[in-house]
Structure 1
Amino acid sequence: MKLSEGIEQAIHSVSMLAGLAPGGLLSAAALAEFHGVSPSYLLKHLQALSQAGILATEPGPKGGYRLARAADAITLLDIVLAIEGPQPAFRCQEIRQRGPNPLPQRYFAQPCGISAAMLRAERAYRDELRRITIAAILADLTVSDDGGITARGCAFLERHGRRARSTTE
């Protein structure tokens, strides 16, 4: 199975936004700069994450993105579904019923064994992605990081982070 580049970019972006201080925002341009990716391509994925309720946005030249919910409430499956859509990776086209010398329909009363196996695998894959939160990924990073990765991200957030407008302004 091949997932789009957008999945990696989305997961890294959500992880970075999890490091913002309360009330903080980060622009799409800053996220793209930090990850060395195309701003227009990343923006498409940030919009999908916003539509899925994973990110919140503040419009305008001083606006940006932040998490819409806590990092422990965002799973990898949430992100994959936001970017790739809910369709299963394998979609049976019932090709067993095509070709020369077609068989009567009674031979196809049961679902295709290949399709059933692929759907079981898809369920297992999705169950695993559902189990892993952004908070868990960040916790794993703190175990393996000697401080360099965290320092790089914190320094970048310090330089590029923005404050959300107050609702009383």
Structure 2
Amino acid sequence: MKYSQATDYALHAMLHLVSEAPDKPVSVHLLAEKLGVSPTYLSKMLTKLVKAGLIHSVPGANGGYRLRRSQEDISFLDIIHAIEGTASVFECSLNHGSECQIQQVVLDAERQMEEYLRNRKISDITRPS
């Protein structure tokens, strides 16, 4: 399974907001420069994070993006779902529905992975170990 490059950028942008500027807005241009990505492309990811309620946009000359929720409340899964959506990564092509044993194994693995990502907060990796 593979997450998109957009998810990679969103996770790194959130890490930057949490570790470098938890209480002040950061411009899309500064974030884009730090990540080495186009501001236009990054802006699309940030818009999804705003819609998910993870960050908010601060208008004005000194505006930008900052956390909307406490960093301890933002999980990896929150960020991934904001970018990728919540659809399952596997669907049985043979239309067996809930009777498909293969689909049940894959869905069980997916649930376990989601539980792990739900319990890992973005702030976990900003703290010294």
Question: Which TM-score applies when normalising by structure 2?
Answer: 0.91
Alpha-carbon separation, structure 1, partners of 2:36 and 2:42: 10
Tell which deviates more after alignment, 11-20 or 123-132. Answer: 11-20
Q: 1:123 to 1:21 in 2, by over 3 A?
A: closer
Q: Does 1:131 align with 2:122?
A: no
Q: Where do 4+ consecutive residues of structure 1 move more than 2 Å?
A: 59-62
Aligned to 2:70: 70
Alignment correspondent of 1:112? 100
Cα-to-partner distance string for 1:23-69 (whole Å, 9 max, x where unaligned): x1101111010011121211111000000000011124432000001
Secondary structure at the counterpart of residue 92 of structure 1: coil
Separation in 2 of the partners of 1:51 and 1:117? Answer: 32
The residue that corresponds to 1:42 in the other structure is 42
Offset at 1:109? 8.2
The alignment-based identity, stated in percent, is 38
What are the residue-to-residue correspondences of 1:15-26 with 2, within 5 Å? 15-18=15-18, 19-20=20-21, 22=23, 24-26=24-26
**Highest CA radius of gyration, 1 or 2?**
1
Aligned to 2:90: 90
Residues 1:110 and 1:55: Cα distance change in structure 2 (over 3 Å): closer
Q: Distance in 1 between matches of 2:81 and 2:34?
A: 24
Task: From the superposition, tell whether residues 116 and 30 of structure 1 become closer, same or farther in structure 2 (CA, over 3 Å).
Answer: same
Structure 1 unaligned regions, length at least 5: 98-107, 144-169
CA distance in structure 1 between the aligned counterparts of 2:97 and 2:51, rounded to whole angstroms: 39
Deviation at 1:110, TM superposition (A): 5.9
Structure 1 residue 8: Cα displacement: 1.4
Aligned with 2:66: secondary structure?
strand
Gaps of 5+ in 2: none
Aligned partner of residue 91 in structure 2, secondary structure: coil
Please give the TM-score of this superposition, normalised by the length of structure 1: 0.71
